């Protein structure tokens, strides 16, 4: 199986290294990911300037564009990049440094990279690692173990053309040992918006608004992906496949 990996945190982010390590047990992997962090950029495409593609190592390229650009370039230029005529079978996006739950899917570059793949008729999985304590250093060791289990589940359950899965891994980094992790599949998307708390500072006719909302304070609708992930289970949300 030929696997394309991308993300929105950048080609050298720790999460994508973990994804490559895990995914390599399931197929031949190639990374095409943004040259710099592109978090929250959604499905933006770069159409008014040339894109620079840089080979970082044998199977790793960086692109000075968005996550959706990376997947589009990789899919349409696959043979030139890999010197192979074998088509891509699966696109993976992540592992994102932080959750992509509920309404996040509309702004997430991680999800957009996976969504772009489905527009070309490929199955895709976006995987994100929720972090309960974002200000602290994070150990990705347990993420690797959970991701391997989840990827095996997704592949063995069957992936059809244009399937789009949004996966969020719970933060279990502060447990003394790795607990047994449940996988909730399918898990509904939480319809609630993210926190919308702002601090306002008035300066004449101008008001400056600084976002101060906390990710972990968001609404948790019973049975949906936010609650599932926050209560230490994997949420797999099967988003609407793109039309043929």
* pTM of the model as a whole: 0.93
Q: Return d(Cα 219, Cα 104) in angstroms, integer.
A: 13
Query: What confidence score (pLDDT) does residue 119 get?
Result: 95
Contact 187, 228 (CB under 8 A): yes
Query: What confidence score (pLDDT) does residue 98 get?
Result: 95
Q: Pick from 88, 51, 56, 49: which is nearest to 73 by CA?
A: 51
Query: What confidence score (pLDDT) does residue 176 get?
Result: 74
Query: What confidence score (pLDDT) does residue 2 get?
Result: 93
Query: What confidence score (pLDDT) does residue 15 get?
Result: 96
Query: What confidence score (pLDDT) does residue 60 get?
Result: 95
Query: What confidence score (pLDDT) does residue 149 get?
Result: 96
Query: What confidence score (pLDDT) does residue 81 get?
Result: 72
Q: Return d(Cα 225, Cα 233) in angstroms, integer.
A: 9
Task: Read off the pLDDT of residues 191-237 as tens digits, 9 standing for 90 and up.
Answer: 998 888 999 999 999 999 999 988 999 999 999 999 999 999 999 99
Query: What confidence score (pLDDT) does residue 169 get?
Result: 97
Q: Pick from 17, 12, 5: which is nearest to 35 by CA?
A: 12
Phi/psi zone of residue 148: left (φ > 0), alpha (ψ -120 to 50 degrees), beta?
Answer: alpha
Parts of the chain with a pLDDT under 50 = none
Query: What confidence score (pLDDT) does residue 84 get?
Result: 66
Query: What confidence score (pLDDT) does residue 137 get?
Result: 81
Query: What confidence score (pLDDT) does residue 85 get?
Result: 67
Query: What confidence score (pLDDT) does residue 80 get?
Result: 74
């Amino acid at each position: 199986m030929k696997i394309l990996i991308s993300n929105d945190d950048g080609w050298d982010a720790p999460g994508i290294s973990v994804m490559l390590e895990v995914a390599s047990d399931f197929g031949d992997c190639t990374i095409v990911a943004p040259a710099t962090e592109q978090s929250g950029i959604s499905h933006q495409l770069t159409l008014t300037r040339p894109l620079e593609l840089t080979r970082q190592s044998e199977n790793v390229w960086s692109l000075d564009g968005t996550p959706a650009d990376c997947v589009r370039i990789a899919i349409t230029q696959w043979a030139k990049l890999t010197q192979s005529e074998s088509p891509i079978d699966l696109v993976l996006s992540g592992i994102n440094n932080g959750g992509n739950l509920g309404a996040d899917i509309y702004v997430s570059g991680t999800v957009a990279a996976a969504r772009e793949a489905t527009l070309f008729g490929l199955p895709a999985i976006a995987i994100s690692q929720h972090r309960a304590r974002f200000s602290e250093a994070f150990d990705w060791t347990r993420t690797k173990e959970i991701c391997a289990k989840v990827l095996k589940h997704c592949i063995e359950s069957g992936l059809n053309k244009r399937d789009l899965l949004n996966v969020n891994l719970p933060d279990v980094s502060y447990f003394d040992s790795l607990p047994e992790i449940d996988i909730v599949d399918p898990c509904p998307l939480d319809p609630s918006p993210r926190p919308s708390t702002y601090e306002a500072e008035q300066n004449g006719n101008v008001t400056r608004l600084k976002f101060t909302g906390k990710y972990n304070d968001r609404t948790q609708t019973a049975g949906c992906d936010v609650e599932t992930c926050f209560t230490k289970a994997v949420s797999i949300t099967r988003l609407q496949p793109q039309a043929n």
